[in-house]
Amino acid sequence: MCGRVALFTPPVRLAKLLDAALAAGVELEGHPSWNVGPQRRLFAVTENNGERILDRYRWGLVPSWAKDASLGNRLFNARAETVAEKPSFRSAFAKRPCAIPVDGFYEWDHRPGKNRQPHFFTRVDGAPMIFAGLYEHWRDPESPDAPLRATCTVITTTPGEDMDEIHDRMPVVLETSDVDTWLNVLEVSADERLALLRPATANTLHHHGVSSSVGSVKNDGPELIEPLEPQSLF
């Protein structure tokens, strides 16, 4: 799973990385956070008629047919193995992919005999990483005049070597060269796009242990990503 990320690179730089324009209302510098969890805002890039836009999306996908928004509380991740068929995601996979830039993600150590310490994963090259994601727009059926709610989910896959067996899932990390293929639903087949939903190649990511303070979204700040030696179990 992927349920906690750091997002502190300014939106204007994320948009440049993905060759996108900023949506109206998105501040150039944004509001950096080192502890973003589900139901908080992520940035995502979408493509329509050849134009890419970076906008804000609530993390936790709410399908257009959902009766209420609470379904999004469970749909912050989508499994690559079933994303094209599962009712909650198949329409978004076919029509509404997005690229979600973040600075890093956290995963808790699940290895036998290890302390359940959070680890912070980043790209080896220091660049922001780009998750494969999906987005939806939802309107409350009880309030037809209410504005559309924009939501998104992060796609996960089996772990690559860089996960070091810390967890049995990892987010799909796209290379910038793959973003065109992922977003191009009109000219690229579903099978070609599904082929991108694989573990990151070895030596793409690295990680280090961090403080358990990241376990509460009330805590935020750059100190959360500072390396911390694992504590002994004994």
Catalytic positions, written as ranges: 2, 107
Distance CA(159)–CA(166), nearest Å, equals 9
Distance CA(121)–CA(98), nearest Å, equals 21
CA angle 20, 23, 26 (to 5 degrees): 110
- Burial per residue of 28-47, b for 16 or more beta-carbon CB atoms within 10 angstroms, e otherwise: eebeebbbbbbebbbbbbbb
Report the relative pairing of strands 33-36 and 5-7 from DSSP bridges.
antiparallel
Cα first-last separation, the chain: 28
| CA-derived radius of gyration, the chain | 17
Check if the beta carbon of residue 183 is closer than 8 Å to that of residue 135: no
The number of residues in the chain equals 234
Task: Give residues with Cβ within 8 angstroms of 231, minimum separation 6.
Answer: 115, 117
DSSP, collapsed to helix, strand or coil, labels residue 4 as coil
Residue 71 DSSP symbol: G
Residue with tokens 């134009």: 51
Q: % helix / strand / coil in the chain, to the nearest 5?
A: 20, 30, 50
